Structure 1
Amino acid sequence: MTAGVLGHPEVLPTTVVVPTIGRPALRDLLDALARATGPRAERLVLVDDTPDGAVDERACRRPGLPEVVVLRSHGRGPAGARNLGWRMAQTEWVSFLDDDVVPDDDWWDRLAADLDKANADVVGGRPAAASQGRIVVPLPADRPLTDEERNTAGLASAQWITADMSYRRDVLVRVGGFDERFRRAYREDADLGLRVVERGGRILPGERTTRHPVPRSRWSASIARQRGNADDQLMRRLHGDDWRDRAGAPPGRLRRHLATSTAGALAVVLGLGGALRRDHRLRLLAAAASAGWVAGTAELAAARIAPGPRTVREVAAMVVTSVAIPSAAAAHAARGLVTHVRERPWPGAPDLVLFDRDGTLIRDVPRNTDPARVEPVAHAREALDRLRALGIPVGVATNQAAVGRGQISHEDCARINARVEELLGPFDTWQVCAHRPEDCCECRKPGPQLVVRACSELGVRPEQCVLIGDTAGDLGAAEAAGATGILVPNAATRPEEVLEAAHVASDLVTAVEIALRGWR
């Protein structure tokens, strides 16, 4: 911790990241953080995930808050929004809060103590990977809970919930952050927690407390929640059939829903067949199936009505929604099964993307000594800015044998690089090999050293690096270093290089999307 910010004696080694869709509850969160006691984080990052950028940064500032920064994730979902937030952080820890929670008045003090506890809890030379806050759901004590209140109450015992969770940044780097295939605020936190624990990370319970109010929702919210069955199929695909046990998730009712919805479908099909064919046996079977559907629906409604307040409105809502829930659950489960049948573990975005210079970022002008002749290729700036917007470092790795041959000087090369930086920068690292091929150095591509040096300079593991170039030498350098290469062919690229490349993109924007979405 360091001294001094906004009058507080210390700064916590964390960045607070809040994904938001601009809900009114965000004001309550900011007010609570502003009045809470204790040392502040270095920065509060609000990631606006609305498509049109509805969050006003100036309206989010408060006396007593750390520096407030608003980023735009343009509807990528909470997982993508959190990834953008933590990648922009440079602190040891990243603390996640949801935009509809209210931290207690001593939250900053408790967070400081929880992070100290996690740092001190060292097992096998490794400190704890994460610290989970305690979630409290304010519930009425004078009456039974409604269905919506019972659903929200489950958050208080949920494991690894990111409504209040702090992770070490290097742990997030190691596991690739949140899996952006989880498009909603559901299961993305359990998936991340499982991946951390599977790699030996320990998640400690903390003492800080955050309240999660029961949201006001429509009576049909329970039907909409059945979309989670598709996410559960993704969890099953990624973590196996026992994922619920390992993630501390309740067993759910999908099997009962499948039985009920199957009975209902059979009742319709057999009933139509019996009517068209005037077949008494089909009618009997249809009646039996109908009885099964009624029994399943009645059991579900009774299970939801029994613990509740049993008001006319609540009972009516439970009966109506219990009719629709089984078929909705079955449909979403089937959609998830089909959609995620071939999913692989989330690779995460790379921690560094390197680009070849000539022929990849700029037009190849042999032995160029004139900065005025530097011309970026199409979409180069767009591709680079896409990575920068996600907080992913970018760099250049280039062979310049013309320097070694004396055809251009080191100064000429530096001027060209400066012009590239002016047009397309900033770049986080420049790696230049000025040797001739006959020098047999290790830095000239396809040798690995340009990639290795760039990774070392920025503290990135080579396997988390991508190199984008236009020749087999670029791909060979990536492979030799343990990184991944993506080929963007041009007129000078040989056909056999394209055929042999594992990853080929038509342009730089496509190459960047491959790097972000499926480069392993």
Structure 2
Amino acid sequence: MTLDVTVVVPTIGRDSLQRLITALDRGEGPRPAQVIVVDDRPAPQTLELRGDLTVKVLESGGRGPAAARNVGWRAADTRWVCFLDDDVMPTPTWLSALEADLAAADAAGAAGTQGRLEVPRETTGRPTDDEQRTLRLATAQWITADMAYRRDVLVEVGGFDARFPRAYREDSDIALRITSAGHRIVVGDRRCEHPVAPATWRTSLRVQAGNRDNALMRRKFGPRWRARIGEGNGRLPAHTATTAAAAGALLALAARRPRAASVAGLAWTALAADFTLRRYRGGSRTAAELSRIMLSSIMIPPLAVGHRLIGEWQHRAAGAEPPLAVLLDRDDTLIQDGPYLNDPRGVVSMPGARRALDRLRDRGLLLAIVTNQSGVARGLISPEQLGAVNAEVAGQLGPFHSWQVCLHGEDDGCACRKPAPGMVVAAAAALGVPPQRCVLIGDTGGDVQAALNAGARAILVPTDRTRVEEISAARSHPRAAVAPTLTAAVDMVLRA
């Protein structure tokens, strides 16, 4: 029996990946329809995975686990997608339990089902401050180390937000968007072990970069976002007060105001001591850990505040969800328009087109062509000639994730020919994104209207043949814009 589920594993090439694949291969229960491993190393190497399980390996360019998961689930064609981290260890009955969990989720009308994580410790005694970070995964909500979602719901919300570059908050973000859309996420009975992450005294400093991601969460969901994901208040207010006290003491010393410096210094000492004691009491309470905690407790507050300020600046314009895909007209947008072009030797790309498209590819945006080709209906271009021309376009400009071509004439009454929305809707479906997260770049009012009719955004890049009224209409519409060149249109997309 085969489960209607794809297992997606983002990896950075850790040795634990083979252990995971072996556990799935030897597990009891039905096989998943697909297993997709997404290599997220900036410079991928060959992954040699042993076992009888058929594994498809894709690459995501080192853009982080959120982007890697998007690459994986968009390549899936099953009803369900189950995400596993490359360092978890499923129990021998995990596949059987997954089958039961998916059936229960379907019966309940749920959009997702969360697995249970167990975090075994190799040592006895009280856990250290660093160990507790991993131990909290066992009770955390919506952890994507073992989480299954319906693929259609992933399409609906646009997948993971790749603006989260770390393995932090991207799981809470997508779950919050799914539940905000009216869907339910239930807890299943399948179980995985999650190892306690190795740590040094610097680990507590490195994880402060997550404050940048917290800034994005606040921008997206408002000041009460922590309560919505089941967390208590964070320590940023206390860290801000500690950092302000330290800065005040230093400024007062520089201004030769010893009394003010003493007051600020006492405030800093009290706040730093309170933070140190809280961490020590919650940790292993050993002398060795106390020395590490004392040093890091002095450094954490300014680091946390600094990362938060950087995040607030980076995400200052984060409002609506950014575009996930760019749809492009072909003639007079990407290549010079020859009347009913039927010879690949006549393909001449527009200036800067390849570089502009590569910039979109580098940022992980999906690309599709949407083009009217009525010359086929008129008998002026054969399907074979059209295929050869399109192959030359891809050869000059690079690969596209989808081609949508309307072969009908103006009077055929089809639903695909622009300005009808058919090709835009079809491209979005092929790419696995909602039309609202697409931007169409074209040179005519028909391009703009096709995008707007489908709920997408549009950018008009006028040519000498673009009518003045089409330009005025694009400028006046809230979901459209006008750019002087394709490069400028790409700049607009990337700024979003």
Contact 1:399 1:445 in 2 (8 A): no
Specify the SS of the correspondent of 1:345. Answer: coil
Give the residue type in structure 1 aligned to 2:321: W
CA pair 111-512 structure 1, distance change in 2 beyond 3 A: farther
Number of matched residues? 484
The residue aligned with 1:373 is 346
The residue aligned with 1:204 is 186
The question of 1:467 aligning with 2:440 is answered yes
The question of 1:60 aligning with 2:29 is answered no
Give percent identity, aligned residues only: 43
One of 276, 289, 292 as aligned partner of 1:301: 276
The question of 1:108 aligning with 2:99 is answered no
Q: Distance in 2 between matches of 1:475 and 1:388?
A: 25
TM-score, normalised to structure 1's length? Answer: 0.83
One of 124, 127, 130 as aligned partner of 1:142: 124
Specify the SS of the correspondent of 1:38. Answer: coil
The question of 1:92 aligning with 2:79 is answered yes
CA drift of 1:61 comes to: 3.5
Specify the SS of the correspondent of 2:192. Answer: strand
Q: Distance in 2 between matches of 1:214 and 1:208?
A: 19
Higher Rg of the two aligned structures: 1
The residue aligned with 1:410 is 379
CA drift of 1:206 comes to: 0.7
Specify the SS of the correspondent of 1:422. Answer: helix
Give the residue type in structure 2 aligned to 1:39: P
Contact 2:370 2:405 in 1 (8 A): yes
The residue aligned with 1:221 is 203
Q: Distance in 2 between matches of 1:12 and 1:440?
A: 41
Structure 1 residues 267-319: Cα deviation after superposition (integer angstroms, max 9, x where no partner): 11112212xxxxxxx21221111111111111111111123333332111011
CA drift of 1:199 comes to: 0.6
One of 318, 322, 330 as aligned partner of 1:357: 330
Moved more, 149-158 or 458-467: 458-467
CA pair 464-29 structure 1, distance change in 2 beyond 3 A: same
Specify the SS of the correspondent of 2:161. Answer: coil
Specify the SS of the correspondent of 1:332. Answer: helix
In the TM superposition, 1:35-50 aligns within 5 A as 35-50=26-41
The residue aligned with 2:456 is 483
CA pair 268-474 structure 1, distance change in 2 beyond 3 A: same
Give the residue type in structure 2 aligned to 1:60: L
Contact 1:393 1:428 in 2 (8 A): no
Give the residue type in structure 2 aligned to 1:373: G
CA drift of 1:486 comes to: 2.8
Specify the SS of the correspondent of 1:31. Answer: helix
Residue ranges of structure 2 left out of the alignment (5+ in a row): 395-399
Q: Distance in 2 between matches of 1:421 and 1:226?
A: 48
Residue ranges of structure 1 left out of the alignment (5+ in a row): 1-9, 122-126, 275-281
Contact 1:384 1:394 in 2 (8 A): no
The question of 1:336 aligning with 2:311 is answered yes
Contact 1:387 1:512 in 2 (8 A): no
CA drift of 1:258 comes to: 1.2
Specify the SS of the correspondent of 2:237. Answer: helix
Q: Distance in 2 between matches of 1:305 and 1:193?
A: 33
CA drift of 1:494 comes to: 5.8
Q: Distance in 2 between matches of 1:440 and 1:14?
A: 39
Give the residue type in structure 1 aligned to 2:35: L
The residue aligned with 1:277 is none
Contact 1:79 1:183 in 2 (8 A): yes
Specify the SS of the correspondent of 2:22. Answer: helix
Structure 1 residues 373-423: Cα deviation after superposition (integer angstroms, max 9, x where no partner): 3445564699499779979573433153x678xxxx426253442223433
Give the residue type in structure 1 aligned to 2:276: A
Q: Distance in 2 between matches of 1:391 and 1:44?
A: 23
Contact 2:28 2:92 in 1 (8 A): yes
CA pair 261-272 structure 1, distance change in 2 beyond 3 A: same
Q: Distance in 1 between matches of 2:213 and 2:432?
A: 34
Question: What's the RMSD between the two structures over aligned residues?
Answer: 3.2
The residue aligned with 2:397 is none
Structure 1 residues 416-456: Cα deviation after superposition (integer angstroms, max 9, x where no partner): 422234334685432134126xx998765435455467678
CA pair 319-42 structure 1, distance change in 2 beyond 3 A: same
TM-score, normalised to structure 2's length? Answer: 0.87
In the TM superposition, 1:436-475 aligns within 5 A as 445-448=418-421, 451=424, 462-475=435-448
